[in-house]
Chains A and B, each alone.
Chain A
Amino acid sequence: MRILLTAAIWVAFAGGVALFTARRDARGPVVSFERGPAKGVFAVEVTASFAASPDPFALDTGDVKAAGLVVRVNGVEAIRSTTVEPGVAIRAEPVAAVVEGKNELFIEASPPQDQLSRRHAVRVRVLRDGEPVAERTFWSEPGSPVAAAFPLDVPAAPREEDAHDH
């Protein structure tokens, strides 16, 4: 009798926990924060003050190749270049990963190993329909590559009905 009682308590306890977990996970729909792509054609332009070359300390596993310059927009790669000439702009257009609202650009560029003791600069410009909307210059610390992230706010384009005259 005691065994049956123990088993019944266990079943009731386990059932209760399972029911709670199932109901908790099945709570109302999650609010979606997905935003649509921003209106216009976006471009990213990068100019380095040095001849970037593949970094010996970069991740390079065969399918991920080491590069001298990498630019990501919201985690999506926009530029990956093994060699970069000093003063020569590298441009990616169109950059489809830009969305309305807050965005983030990440840039990584590695100077040649024999010039690591100096500070180096990388200029980044973001253009919308050919017009610059953001511009920043990043400097490296001696011994390190340039690695920086910067925010980019893209205001929502006015809705068509708002643009009509009444």
Chain B
Amino acid sequence: MNRLLSLALLALAVPAAAEETRRPVIVCSTTQIADFARQVAGDRCVVKCILAPGADPHTYQPTPGDAEIVATADLCLENGLHLEGKNWMATLAKDRGKPIATCTEGIAPLELESDGEKVRDPHAWFSPVNAARYVNNITAALSKLDAAGKGEYEARAKLYLQQLRTLDAWIKEQFNAILPEKRILVTSHDAFNYFCRDYGFRSAAPVGWSTGSEVGAGMTPERRKSVIESIRSFGVKAVFVETSVNPKMVQELAREAGVAVGGELYSDSMGGPGTAGETYIGMMRENVLTIVKALR
């Protein structure tokens, strides 16, 4: 009898509590987008991410578990510009009938020319100015989803945008220690074009804009040869491996060209929990420090 009474009380209490704590669920494709969304949403939303730290969005194959996560979403967020290979995030959202917002909307994409074809570079978050656009797009999408929280989202976004501005100024100051002609960034794949544009670097990578099999993606013997020639002719001091790409190729390239591996850069994915690169600002800060240390 006692047990029955307790159960009845519990049954009355649980739905009320659940109703009170029901928060919008935001499902993001990449770790960077999830971080931006958390900065804007605070504790008002539950933010989930499909990609794990270190995973490669170009080659990622969604699992049934991902479809279940998307099924819980009130809103999905993707990078767009085909970062998510074969548009896997848009497909997951469409299959489950969930609304999706594209974070790169409004960004003027860099065009890469490869094999006579033009491809739009999806790695737009590497420019803090573009990251501000991501944050604005996420703020607009969250405000539309949860109009009652608009003021909160905008207030958090404003503070985070100030942090992005400070990050941008800090990066410029740090790179001032590297002579302009020494600013050559050789990485595993062609992900740092926006970064290089903003901070006066030239980029070179043996693998195209994607590690997948899209047009202009992957490694060709011509690209490899051209990268080695660039390293030798410009006297590049170091090349860099990426956290989300197998380091073997760059290590071989460094051996062949006779240069050091300057360290590991966060690229298409951020670091895991407890690492310095677990947030966007942390990831950018660590990348900059690694580059300055190796190229100065």
Measured CA separation A56–B130 after assembly (Å): 8
Q: A3-B1, A144-B165 are in contact. Are A57 and B154 (CB under 8 A)?
A: no
A144 touches B140 (CB 8 A): no
B140 touches A61 (CB 8 A): yes
- Enumerate B103-160 residues with CB–CB distance to A below 8 Å: 128-129, 132, 136-137, 139-140, 143, 154, 157-158
Q: A57-B165, A61-B143, A61-B154 are in contact. Are A3 and B2 (CB under 8 A)?
A: yes
Task: List the A side residues contacting B169 at CB < 8 Å.
Answer: 116, 142-144
Interface centre among A6, A56, A142, A143 (most CB of B within 10 A): A56
Which of B5, B158, B164 lies in contact with A7, CB distance below 8 A? B5
Task: List the A side residues contacting B89 at CB < 8 Å.
Answer: none
Which of A57, A64, A116, A145 lies in contact with B164, CB distance below 8 A? A57
**Does B239 interact with chain A (Cβ within 8 Å)?**
no
Where chain B touches its partner, the secondary structure class is helix
B136 touches A60 (CB 8 A): yes
B2 touches A59 (CB 8 A): no
**Does A62 interact with chain B (Cβ within 8 Å)?**
yes
B1 touches A61 (CB 8 A): no
**Does A58 interact with chain B (Cβ within 8 Å)?**
yes
Nearest-neighbour CB distance to chain A for B21, whole angstroms, equals 20
Which of B5, B143, B162 lies in contact with A57, CB distance below 8 A? B162
Nearest-neighbour CB distance to chain B for A45, whole angstroms, equals 26
Task: List the A side residues contacting B5 at CB < 8 Å.
Answer: 3, 6-7
The proximity string for A residues 73-109 relative to B, scoring 1 for CB distances below 8 Å and 0 otherwise, is 0000000000000000000000000000000000000
The proximity string for B residues 199-225 relative to A, scoring 1 for CB distances below 8 Å and 0 otherwise, is 000000000000000000000000000
**Does B261 interact with chain A (Cβ within 8 Å)?**
no
Which of B128, B154, B173 lies in contact with A59, CB distance below 8 A? B154
**Does B161 interact with chain A (Cβ within 8 Å)?**
yes
Which of B2, B129, B157 lies in contact with A56, CB distance below 8 A? B129
B139 touches A61 (CB 8 A): yes
Nearest-neighbour CB distance to chain A for B40, whole angstroms, equals 10
A59 touches B136 (CB 8 A): yes
Nearest-neighbour CB distance to chain B for A91, whole angstroms, equals 26
Q: A7-B5, A61-B140, A116-B169 are in contact. Are A56 and B132 (CB under 8 A)?
A: yes
Smallest CB gap from A60: residue in B: B136
Task: List the B side residues contacting A61 at CB < 8 Å.
Answer: 136-137, 139-140, 143, 154, 157
B140 touches A57 (CB 8 A): no
Smallest CB gap from A56: residue in B: B129
Measured CA separation A76–B139 after assembly (Å): 21
Which of B2, B143, B161 lies in contact with A58, CB distance below 8 A? B161
Task: List the B side residues contacting A2 at CB < 8 Å.
Answer: 2
Task: List the A side residues contacting B128 at CB < 8 Å.
Answer: 57
Nearest-neighbour CB distance to chain A for B32, whole angstroms, equals 17
The proximity string for A residues 132-150 relative to B, scoring 1 for CB distances below 8 Å and 0 otherwise, is 0000000000111100000
Task: List the B side residues contacting A3 at CB < 8 Å.
Answer: 1-2, 5
Measured CA separation A64–B136 after assembly (Å): 10
Measured CA separation A12–B220 after assembly (Å): 79
Nearest-neighbour CB distance to chain A for B203, whole angstroms, equals 22
Measured CA separation A145–B165 after assembly (Å): 10
A59 touches B139 (CB 8 A): yes
Measured CA separation A59–B156 after assembly (Å): 10
- Enumerate A122-166 residues with CB–CB distance to B below 8 Å: 142-145
Smallest CB gap from B131: residue in A: A57
17 additional contacts, CB 8 Å, given A3-B5, A7-B5, A61-B140? A3-B1, A56-B129, A57-B128, A57-B132, A57-B162, A57-B168, A59-B158, A61-B139, A61-B154, A64-B154, A142-B169, A143-B169, A143-B172, A143-B173, A144-B166, A144-B169, A145-B165
Q: List, sorted by A's number, 30 A–B pairs whose CB atoms are closer than 8 Å.
A: A3-B1, A3-B2, A3-B5, A6-B2, A6-B5, A7-B5, A56-B129, A56-B132, A57-B128, A57-B161, A57-B164, A57-B165, A58-B161, A59-B136, A59-B154, A59-B157, A59-B161, A61-B139, A61-B140, A61-B143, A61-B154, A64-B154, A143-B166, A143-B169, A143-B172, A143-B173, A144-B165, A144-B166, A144-B169, A145-B165
